[in-house]
Amino acid sequence: MRQPAGANPLLWCVLLCVFAAKASAGSLGGALELQARSFFKQDRDRNSASVALKPTVFQNWNHRNTRLEGELFYRLDSLDDRRSHGDVRSLYLQHLGRDWEALVGVAQVRWGVTESRTLVDVINQADFVEDIAADAKLGQPMLALTWLQPIGSFDVFVMPYQRARTFPDANGQPRIGFDFAPEEARYASSAGQRHVDVAGRLRMRFGPLDLNLSVFDGTARDPDILPCLRRGSGFPGTADGPNCDLIKGTTLPEAPLANRLLDLFQRLGLVDDDFALFDRVLANIVLVPEYARLRQMGLEAQYIRGALALKLEAVARERGGRSTQAAVGGIEYALAGFFNSGWEVTALAEYLFDERRTLINSRSDNDLFLGTRINLNDIPGTVVEAGFFMDRSGTDQLMQIEASRRFGPHWRGALTARHFERVPTEPFLDFLRDESMVRLSLQRFF
């Protein structure tokens, strides 16, 4: 049986020993999660169940100026072997100086101010096998330094290793129609995953205005997806790896270049006819991630005045020799004491624009987002969020509802429902028709 992704026994033993050793002197906790997912399409088994363990550790000393924090993660899924995976979400040592901070280890760093999509968030890799929304992130090894000043702060990140994005297997979600081959990943840098990435972020505050400027130079976290012929499939160029040049790869070695001779050989049965060749090609196509070199400058702005919040994210990118821009901007307005209750209802509206279209992100290149957040302000902490994405042409729509609340001091339940409507008939977008789903999670904290 194939070892689940991310399950390095030696690494896990070492980390668990560290956690156990720190438990007596610090704080050891975490959560156990039960999760069920059901996808609406009926012509195949779409239901799955999983269990996830999320142990955490915290310890500080030196008058609370030095601390160790960590969170491990492991999920066992009933349907998708690649979703049965483990990860070090965080495990770092941090020291706080008078006007500086230093961090070394594996950490989670999140940038962004908008609700619908965070364009500037480029430090951590998405744990895509968890959910196509890419909210879950893999831990990123790094050295981080922060200088604190009265006007704000400046962060510098040095990342010696890039995490590869997780992808589902043939039984998982999303089901593109072809298998992903993350083990065949390609990198623009000759150093591969060991390319040293650097980033910086300047955070400033001017009264009600928060302004952040960021820069990143390294390996892109979101890969391009290449359709390739599978390694060892018998096509030219597949003996030592996948062949991503489909035109050359589907030219049979025994067929001459002249089409008329190819037709003759096909009639004689010496080579495959066109339909058989087409079937062979489809049966042996895999999707290979290719990680490009990325240089990105980002802007985050948030203006808050009373119940009103104006938000903006914008990036200018140079990726693979091509320059593109993207932006997300919008407004939030909070209504406290809604209908003379303790509820707080927030209305949201944002517009998304991205010049770069990809297999994963192409559905959010020119969209309008409308949403609401309802906080009941009750003891169980009940929160309901609903959002609606619509392409400017009105052809592509996504509706999503998320709700969560506590049940006593140790339990929390969460519900997510997502529905895709009017998906355009474009290559590599049809799979979204099958991604409408309901997910129910129950966590026990300890």
**Digit-coded pLDDT (tens) for 422-435:** 766 655 566 666 77
Contact 286, 185 (CB under 8 A): no
Secondary element (H or E) of residue 323: strand 322-336
Question: pLDDT value at position 170?
Answer: 83
Question: pLDDT value at position 21?
Answer: 52
Question: pLDDT value at position 365?
Answer: 72
Per residue in 61-84, is it b (16+ CB within 10 Å) or e — as a string? eeeeeebbbbbbbbbebebbbbbb
One domain, residues 109 and 221? yes
Would 421 be classed as within a structural domain? yes
One domain, residues 276 and 407? no
> pLDDT (tens digit, 9 = 90+) per residue, 235-259?
888 888 898 886 555 554 443 334 4
One domain, residues 125 and 270? no
Backbone angles phi, psi at 264, to 5 degrees: -65, -45
One domain, residues 260 and 385? no
| Total domain count, the chain | 2
Question: pLDDT value at position 10?
Answer: 47
Cα-based distances in Å from 365 to 225, 359, 422: 17, 11, 16
Give the pLDDT band (50/70/90) at residue 121.
very high
One domain, residues 333 and 275? no
Residue 260 has pLDDT above 50, yes or no: no
Cα-based distances in Å from 8 to 74, 78, 184: 11, 20, 19
Taking alpha carbons only, the member of 404, 431, 429, 428 closest to residue 417 is: 404
pTM of the model: 0.86
One domain, residues 39 and 64? yes
3-class DSSP assignment, residue 394: coil
Residues spanned by the domain of 236 = 231-283
Give me the numbers of helices (H) and strands (E) for the chain, helices first please: 4, 22
One domain, residues 241 and 220? no
One domain, residues 168 and 216? yes
One domain, residues 207 and 336? yes
Would 2 be classed as within a structural domain? no
Question: pLDDT value at position 258?
Answer: 41
CA distance 160 to 189: 13
3-class DSSP assignment, residue 202: strand
Who's near 219: CB < 8 A, 6+ residues apart? 162, 187, 188, 189, 193, 195, 197, 291, 292, 293, 294
Would 373 be classed as within a structural domain? yes
Pick the last residue of a domain from 283, 298, 321: 283
CATH code, domain carrying 186 = 2.40.160.10
Would 1 be classed as within a structural domain? no
Taking alpha carbons only, the member of 256, 257, 254 closest to residue 236 is: 254
Of 40-44, 264-268, 306-310, the least confident: 264-268
Pick the last residue of a domain from 246, 263, 283: 283
Pick the last residue of a domain from 264, 283, 302: 283
One domain, residues 175 and 241? no
Give the pLDDT band (50/70/90) at residue 342.
confident
Question: pLDDT value at position 259?
Answer: 47
CA distance 117 to 132: 13
One domain, residues 175 and 145? yes
Question: pLDDT value at position 148?
Answer: 96
Who's near 446: CB < 8 A, 6+ residues apart? 29, 30, 31, 32, 410
CA distance 109 to 123: 6
Indicate the Cα dihedral angle 208, 210, 211, 216, nearest 10°.
-170
CA distance 208 to 303: 6
Would 3 be classed as within a structural domain? no
One domain, residues 70 and 127? yes
Residue 393 has pLDDT above 80, yes or no: no
* Percent of the chain whose pLDDT exceeds 70: 80
Q: For residue 186, count other CB atoms closer than 10 A to its CB.
A: 17
Which of the two residues, 428 and 288, has the higher pLDDT score? 288
Backbone angles phi, psi at 37, to 5 degrees: -125, 140
Of 8-17, 233-242, 367-376, the least confident: 8-17
Give the pLDDT band (50/70/90) at residue 123.
very high
Mean pLDDT computed over every residue of the chain = 85
